[in-house]
Structure 1
Amino acid sequence: MKQISTREIESYLQKYIACMQAHGEELMDKPMPAADEELFALYETTGNRLKYESVYFARRKMLAVYGCLSLLEGKPEYLKKLEEVLDGICEEECWALPAHINRKEDPQWRICVDLFASETAHALSDIISGLKGRLPSALCEKVRENVFRRVLTPFMNAAAPYAKWEGGDNNWNAVCCGSIGCAAIYLMQDEPELLKPLLDRIVCSLDSYIAGFSEDGACMEGLGYFTYGMTYYTGFADMLYRYTDGAIDLMEDEKCRRIAMFQQKCYFPSGRTLSFSDGDSRDTYKMGLTCFLAMRYAGVEIPPISCAGGFDEDSCYRFMANYRDVVWTRKYLEQAEKGLLPAEEDDGAADCLVLPGAQWSICRGLSGGGMAAKGGNNGESHNHNDVGSFLYLAGDEMLLTDLGAGEYTRDYFGEKRYDILCNHSFGHSVPVIDGKGQKEGTEYACSHFEADGSGRTVISFGQAYGTERVKSLTRSLCYDPAKESLQAEDVLEDREAGENPVSMKENLVTQYKPVIVGNAIHIAGRKYGCRITVEDLEGSIGFETKKHSNHRGAEEEVYCITWEVPADKEKPGTRKCRFRVEMEEI
């Protein structure tokens, strides 16, 4: 990946700040939108999250805008508006989201330390500390009282774990503990006898977050959750390092360096991103976080500036990230000017990368696209039943897709999660066995994974289907980065070849309507397309149109292309399918 120039970063930063300033003018005379009971109750009655959350995050947008502008520029009009916003947030009935509480069973539901209560506590603490002496003392005391009552005191008074996220291995741990730790340092430095044990508890919990990454640094939840969790982990790590005068450095572990390298491995040259699990194939990165990591570790690359998220990119308007997008980026530019950045490392611009701990294989093609395949298991955080799946891109067009995250609803994180297409194996390019898909749980996994780093990947994943009738199912993929062609072979072995053999149907997923002619499948994007040729086809190829509600709640069409895989005439109890994917320019 080509390292971007400081001039590009300076231009990005100017636009970022200009966007905040434009919002500052636009929102100056507008009241905070009301987050009322009717909206709050929608999740409980319908499972819809988006309507209440759109109002909640509009309020957090005002906090981010006027918090950042007051700290960065300090204009009286910004400070005055900030007072109104801070008071409004202190008056909210509950800082947690409806999806994270249970009003029917918990009479204390108003006090719940979830992701967003924690984020709010951090933001308010950061702002009043940074603006000490410039805000009314009564307002600062009100903010302080709210942060303690709603977040710090409930957490400190609860035996560990406060909730399942404490000591967990996913983003919740990093976001909640990082936020709480920062808020505590801001507000409790005059109480060291209480602060020290709290910080020790936070550090202990965050050890489990780092342990949740694979040994090669991969975030199994998806790239977006890497960004989310690491934003708060690094925010706290930076603050703790400064508070302890360097005595505690959470970034010194070698695994943290490998984690820092994960982001750049998820980008294809075109700017498209890996969308495994609850990811996004058009993800963006946080400039502040990336600059922080690049200042710390040699070899961290900043992806193309076109992929950098602007101020409005995060619809949740997280103050931790927004403010550090400015201050950490400025610091990076200062260090670059002084020649103080770590020396660049040449990774050889590898066409193919292997993450053996995550069981991911990633290949990049000349057009800017590529191929990626995964093993893993079906009990990962933000899991999709996708063991053995792959995706294929030409240029910036994902012709065989991984849908990534769907719309977050009550069902999405409930018992009906795997009734949703993007989470079910039917929504991934993996075979259908005896008419059924893969099962959820860590035991339904890849039993063997190998990749040579030159385009060849072998995945054994019969275990993912949870049926004794299957002895083995092995997928072999061979990708040529120069030709951007993919040769695939799936081999199923029946445990007991007899009168009732195991059936197998191939299933390829695309969001472009396919055209089928004989044994050939044509998928056409805007600039690129591909031809998929099925060898030794018996019967016909068909496709079914299905609906997918994406992460923003918009409905999209998905096409699942299927054909029956015949029995191998020479090997009873075996079914074998070969197909070839070849890129075509439109």
Structure 2
Amino acid sequence: MLKNFMTQDALAGVFRKQQFPFRFPPAANRAAWSREGSRFREVSFPLYLKKAEEILGKDYAEIYPILKAGEFFSYVRTGNRRIFETSYFTRRSHLALFCLAEAMEYRRRFLPAVVEGIWQLLSEPVWYLPAHGYYRENDPMPRFDLPRTDLFCAETGATLACVVRLLEKELTAESAELLTWVREFCIERVIVPVEEERVHEWWLDGLNNWGPWCASNVALTAFTFLRDQPERLARLILKLAECCDSFYNRYAADGGCDEGPGYFMVAGIRLMLFLDLLNTYTGGSCNWFYTQEKFRNIGDYIAKVHLTGPWFACMADSVAKFDRLNAGLLNHFAELSGSARLKSFAAEAAFGFQPRGTGGIPDRFSEKGTFLHLVLLDELAQIFWAPDPAARGSFPGEGRTVLPDLQFYLFRQNPEKEEPGSILCIKGGHNNENHNHNDVGEFELFFDGKPVIIDCGATDYTKFTFSERRYENRFLNSSGHNVPAFNGVLQAPGAEFAAGHRELLADGVAIDIAGAYPKECGVTSCVRRAVLTAEGVVSIEDTVSGKGTISVELPLYCAVKPELTPAGIEISGMRLKLRGIELERLEEIPLEDVRMKLSWGDRLWCIHLQTTIEKSGTCRLEFQPVS
């Protein structure tokens, strides 16, 4: 498809005629940056400027923290990623913020800080993360002879490309030679490793979100710094197009992102950004791509897995809660795909999913007064591609959402009302999905906008997260999810460990999850039946069959402390009644993990249930709204 859309010679011919205008107005275009009438600008510009002013008053050593060798080495030595990455992303975030502030105010007040930020990035030994380098055995310094373009090397190139495009006139007045350095560093560090591939860049195979994420950023870097080399540019762009083609072809027809909602903004959205660049700079040659149902489904996915308020179905290595989705990127995808659903969702995202008539545009910097990762390209999209607030509520809600390929099912009691009532979701799938958690059969339950039974989500990434030791982490294996263990045996990783027969019911779904477990668990069938009634009652029923005596242990994770009452277990306005299974204990789980605390605060609770079945039996959980 994409890789064959044009020959290299033809593409180079198109590029020879191109001026490659930036996708967003440069700061010198004061009419564009001063335009009034956008509520987003009226509210957000003062927030950007206020934050930039706060940071500008600090010492440069604090604004652009030193990247220390010991912190880089800690990845190999201890497995810690956060200590280095915090400083790394802070440097880039502050550079992006100062660029935006200068473009908004245009008084050269922030320009010295922009120059300093560029200087600091040019001074870094490498632009990729420690977790993504190539190493010799027992040596924490990455190999000099094997440079690579990882996610954030590519993103650094794209950030510098945006800095140059946004403030080229102003930076040239400061130092034209500085821009030469930026160009040469970006070509050498971002583009050449992709061209030469001393070691094959596996992301070029389009296996997961790395493909379009890297490709879109490398493309933006190339369209900025290889504008005068059309043949070289064409060769590179076709290579990146083949990568995105592979990624797209691997995507299921229903548009489901098996990496989870938390990865959508760096998966499906990045595919859209690559296509947007390619289409813009080839005179609309990819317009046909936008009309495909699958492309529209990829964008609609994020709206389909939205639960309520800031909460999303917490699949794979996703976080559960994010109220600052980039509404501009979502809106642009909607405009390209023609999706009314996504356009309405983008407008809700612009207001932080708050009820209509309350609140306003969320402060993007209110998370404990700081931010970790501000991307200049994304913020420009947030400003110039912002949705029309009038689109809010224009797409009707759905009582039942089904993604058949992803095997994700979502049921709502009140799909078109402000009071959401009960919301139930459950997944089937297999245990070789990207960022897999061995969680076939996992369900989540919300009531009136509050979490009742949750998927805990992923923990901070370490050296071991993507190693053979991945499933040693409680929250990355089935013991950290709302699925049973049989005779002490958990689900196993691998595509062969998968959901079996599935049946859509009038008010729910039934999934046989026994295939996700090794045979030694002793179970031949476990049909999990998940039902939501019109009255908001949710039942989860596991019908188990196997050999001999089967012990069943079922954990249920909660974001608030369950209250044990004579009438049942009360959680967030719902009462849990048990049949065929008993409460064994209630566990309080203090949280130290930074990533999990962003969604859940300082602690979680786990309701441990257990029973014993002779050959076959049924366990039933019934959640009733407390009147």
What is the TM-score normalised by the length of structure 2? 0.82
Q: 1:463 aligns to what?
A: 515
Q: 2:608 aligns to what?
A: 562
Once residues 621 and 292 of structure 2 are traced to their aligned partners in structure 1, the CA distance between those partners, rounded to angstroms, is: 44
Offset of residue 134 of structure 1: 2.5
Q: 2:277 aligns to what?
A: 239
Q: 1:225 aligns to what?
A: 263
Is the contact between residue 406 and residue 548 of structure 1 (CA under 8 Å) also seen in structure 2?
no
Residue-by-residue CA offset, 1:57-107 (whole Å, 9 max, x unaligned): 110111211223344554322333211111111111111111222443552
Is the contact between residue 268 and residue 298 of structure 2 (CA under 8 Å) also seen in structure 1?
no
Is the contact between residue 255 and residue 294 of structure 2 (CA under 8 Å) also seen in structure 1?
yes
Aligned pair in 2 of structure 1 residues 553, 471: CA closer, same or farther (>3 Å)? Answer: closer
SS in 2 for 1:96: coil
SS in 1 for 2:73: helix
Once residues 13 and 522 of structure 1 are traced to their aligned partners in structure 2, the CA distance between those partners, rounded to angstroms, is: 47
Q: 1:393 aligns to what?
A: 446
Residue 264, structure 1, aligned to residue 303, structure 2: yes
Residue 59, structure 1, aligned to residue 91, structure 2: yes
Q: 1:25 aligns to what?
A: 53
| Equivalenced residues, count | 552
Once residues 501 and 536 of structure 2 are traced to their aligned partners in structure 1, the CA distance between those partners, rounded to angstroms, is: 25
Offset of residue 407 of structure 1: 1.6
Q: 1:121 aligns to what?
A: 157
Residue-by-residue CA offset, 1:196-227 (whole Å, 9 max, x unaligned): 12111111101222234332111111112101
Once residues 500 and 403 of structure 2 are traced to their aligned partners in structure 1, the CA distance between those partners, rounded to angstroms, is: 16
Offset of residue 28 of structure 1: 2.5
Code of the aligned partner of 1:459: I
What is the TM-score normalised by the length of structure 1? 0.88
Once residues 326 and 251 of structure 2 are traced to their aligned partners in structure 1, the CA distance between those partners, rounded to angstroms, is: 19
Offset of residue 127 of structure 1: 2.0
Code of the aligned partner of 1:187: F
CA RMSD of aligned residues (A): 2.6
Code of the aligned partner of 2:115: E
Is the contact between residue 114 and residue 176 of structure 1 (CA under 8 Å) also seen in structure 2?
yes
Once residues 56 and 225 of structure 1 are traced to their aligned partners in structure 2, the CA distance between those partners, rounded to angstroms, is: 20
Residue 213, structure 1, aligned to residue 287, structure 2: no
Once residues 99 and 550 of structure 1 are traced to their aligned partners in structure 2, the CA distance between those partners, rounded to angstroms, is: 19
Q: 2:494 aligns to what?
A: 441
Aligned pair in 2 of structure 1 residues 62, 536: CA closer, same or farther (>3 Å)? Answer: closer
SS in 2 for 1:492: strand
Q: Percent identity?
A: 26
Code of the aligned partner of 2:586: F
Residue 355, structure 1, aligned to residue 395, structure 2: no
Code of the aligned partner of 2:330: T
Once residues 423 and 169 of structure 2 are traced to their aligned partners in structure 1, the CA distance between those partners, rounded to angstroms, is: 54
Once residues 55 and 145 of structure 2 are traced to their aligned partners in structure 1, the CA distance between those partners, rounded to angstroms, is: 31
Code of the aligned partner of 2:263: Y
Aligned pair in 2 of structure 1 residues 524, 470: CA closer, same or farther (>3 Å)? Answer: closer
Aligned pair in 2 of structure 1 residues 11, 347: CA closer, same or farther (>3 Å)? Answer: closer
Once residues 443 and 310 of structure 1 are traced to their aligned partners in structure 2, the CA distance between those partners, rounded to angstroms, is: 45
Is the contact between residue 411 and residue 425 of structure 2 (CA under 8 Å) also seen in structure 1?
yes
Code of the aligned partner of 1:326: I
Is the contact between residue 319 and residue 457 of structure 2 (CA under 8 Å) also seen in structure 1?
yes
Q: 1:6 aligns to what?
A: none
Of 259-268 and 232-241, the range deviating more from structure 2:
232-241
Offset of residue 459 of structure 1: 0.7
Aligned pair in 2 of structure 1 residues 491, 38: CA closer, same or farther (>3 Å)? Answer: same
Gaps of 5+ in 2: 1-36, 354-360
Residue 321, structure 1, aligned to residue 374, structure 2: no
Q: 2:79 aligns to what?
A: 47
Q: 2:179 aligns to what?
A: 140
Once residues 222 and 102 of structure 2 are traced to their aligned partners in structure 1, the CA distance between those partners, rounded to angstroms, is: 22
Aligned counterparts, 1:57-96, within 5 A: 57-96=89-128
Aligned counterparts, 1:418-497, within 5 A: 418-452=471-505, 454-467=506-519, 469-480=522-533, 482-494=534-546, 497=547
Code of the aligned partner of 1:15: V
SS in 2 for 1:410: coil
Aligned pair in 2 of structure 1 residues 579, 230: CA closer, same or farther (>3 Å)? Answer: closer
Residue 290, structure 1, aligned to residue 330, structure 2: yes
Q: 1:5 aligns to what?
A: none
Offset of residue 550 of structure 1: 4.0
Offset of residue 392 of structure 1: 0.7
Q: 2:579 aligns to what?
A: 535
Residue 502, structure 1, aligned to residue 544, structure 2: no
SS in 1 for 2:70: helix
Q: 1:524 aligns to what?
A: 571
Is the contact between residue 504 and residue 575 of structure 1 (CA under 8 Å) also seen in structure 2?
no
